[in-house]
Amino acid sequence: MSQRFLAGAPFAALLGLAAGTALVAPAWAADPEPIRIGVIAENQAIGGVAITNAAHLAADELNAKGGVGGRKIEIIEYDDHSSSADAVRAFQRAVNQDHVAAVIASYISEVVLALEPWAARLKTPLITPGAASNEISRAVHDDYARNKYTFHGYLTSSFLAQAVCDFSHDILVGKLHMTSTVVMSEDAAWTTPLDDTSLQCLPEAGLKVLDHIRFSPDTTDFTPLFNQIEAKHPDVITTGISHVGVQPTVQWASQQVPIPMAGISSQATTTSFWRDTNGAAQGVLVDENAAPDVAVTPKTIPFATAYAKRFGITPGYAGYSAADDVNIIAEAVQRAGSTDADKLVEELEKTDYVGTYGKVAFYGRNDQYTHALKYGPGYITTLVVQWQDGKQVTLWPENIANGKLTFPSFIKLPQPHAAQ
């Protein structure tokens, strides 16, 4: 139990871990101690379970290849019920009890922001595969010495908005000759920078923003919203939704709102979305970091197929990034030759890894979004899929498109034949 006594002392994590390794090393001489990675997410949530599943899948694949430098990867999962308080306790357990090398946590900005100071306090690398708020990387940028342990393993809201704008420019304006839109976002922290950027870049992309509607995330009746939007007669609705998804989509379809929806809709990124909406998703355009059947990188399809084979549904948007995070942590440990937090951080900053949906690399301490994923050609880009008869058909970027635009009959496009 000496290990425990030490664990109580200052710098609990490091000393405890060191002592632990030192003490138990002989016993495990035959089989070197595994690299433990904590995964904190709510498994009752589609977005959350994708993280846990993907992490397990990635770890097993690595272990199948003999692990990292002979050391196996061990995933320890914690359910946080999407509560920041619960997540903090889970993080403490991960670090002080289970002595993990790093933690992959949550897709909810509130939770990640609550964990950020604890990553600093317990000096343990933290990567979020799904949260979008710019605050995460801003904190790192503003107080690097303290917060350098946090990495933003998913695109910041601003980049997501940029992606939507690029797509709008190429397809909505370029192909469908649309000229106007209404921005509809849930009133949440992650959508503030999202909307700031899109309000600025949509006009540049050629879509006049007729109105900007933010609604409470616990809204259940969307009729008034759609009616308000329709009254403005836009050619398209640019969505920014994550807490909600099923409900607006279903009501959009059942009320036969004649305007297409395109943009961010996190819940719409998994196959279960089709079931939950009973197919109301037909024709909805969603910006995703990857699609199961599109070879963004050589790893995409193998991963997606393996995932679908094992868990029955396609990986949610955070699934791809979670899988990559496991790999980059593993590589960082290997390069660092230890699980020392500061060394790990250095190595993680050097990350240059071709993942399941693009090349993973983080911005440096002097960039605006420190420790955020690099976005753009050659790094991470996103693609846009459309729900068609239960499948996600990729339409953009065109070089990887594998289908054609079609909309349900109630949709009225600017020029009826533009789609052809």
Partner 1 sequence: MLALQILIDGFAISALYGLGAIGFTLIFGVSGVLNLSHGGIMVIAAIAAWAIAGDLHAGTYIGSAAGVLIGLIAALVTYGLVVRPIQRSRAIPRDETEIFVLTGTLLWGIMIQEAVAYFFTDNPVTVVPLISGVATIGGVRVPYNEIMIAAICWSVIGLLWLLVNRTRAGRALLAASINPRGLTLLGFELSSIYLLVWTIYGVLAGLAGVLLATFLGAGSANIGQLTASAFSIVVLGGLGSVSGSLLAAYVVGYLETLTAYLVAPTLRTIPSLLLLVIVVYLRPQGLLGRR
Partner 2 sequence: MAAVRRWRPWALVVLLVLLAVLPWGVSAYIVGVLTVAYYFAVYAMSWDLLFGFAGEVNFGPTFLIGLGAYAASLLDIHRWPVPLCVLVGAAAAVVGGAALAVPALRLRGPYFGLVTLVAVLVLQQVIVIFAGITGGEIGLSVPDVLAVDANPNYWYALAFMVASGGILVTLSRSPVGLILQASGQDATETAALGFNVAKHKVAAFCVSAFFSGLSGAMVVFYEGTVSVGSVIDLALGVQVIIAAVLGGRRTIYGAALGAIFLILANELLRPLGQLNTFVVAAVALIVILFFPNGFMGILGRAGERS
Tokens of 227: 């009616």
- The option from partner 2, partner 1, none interacting with 101 (CB < 5 to 8 A, set by class) reads none
- By DSSP bridging, strand 150-152 and strand 261-265 are unpaired
| The entry of partner 1, partner 2, none that residue 246 binds, CB within 5 to 8 Å by partner kind | partner 1
Give the nearer residue to partner 1 in terms of CB position, either 316 or 355: 316
Could you tell me the end-to-end alpha-carbon distance of the chain, in angstroms, rounded to an integer?
Answer: 71
**Locate tokens 């964990």: which residue?**
115
CB of 103 to partner 2, least distance (A): 13
Tell me how many degrees the CA angle 132-138-139 measures, rounded to the nearest 5: 110
Structure tokens at 175: 């192909």
Q: Is 85 in the site for partner 1 (CB under 8 A)?
A: no
CB-CB contact of 126 with 115 (8 Å): yes
Which of 166, 345, 296, 312 has its CA nearest to residue 238?
166
Q: Which is nearer to partner 2, 142 or 398 (CB)?
A: 142
Enumerate binding residues for partner 2 (CB under 8 A): 4-5, 7-8, 10, 12-13, 16, 42-44, 77-79, 81-86, 88-90, 92-93, 95-97, 109-110, 113-114, 116-118, 121, 133, 135, 139, 187-190, 192, 216-217
Verify binding: residue 191, partner 1, rule CB under 8 A. no
CB 307 within 8 Å of CB 58:
no
Smallest separation, CB 230 to partner 1 (Å): 8
**CA of 234: how far to CAs of 229, 261, 294, 306, in Å?**
7, 11, 31, 41
Of 37-45, 59-67, 287-295, 348-356, the window that binds partner 1 (rule: CB under 8 A) is: 37-45
Q: Which is nearer to partner 2, 18 or 189 (CB)?
A: 189
Query: Mask: binding to partner 1, 234-253, rule CB under 8 A, as x and -?
Result: -----------xxx--xx--
Q: For residue 181, what are its two tokens?
A: 């839109």
The pair phi, psi for residue 321, each rounded to 5°, is: -65, -35
| Contact positions vs partner 1 (CB under 8 A) | 42, 44-46, 49, 187, 213-216, 218-221, 223-225, 227-228, 245-247, 250-251, 254-256, 267, 272, 275-278, 280
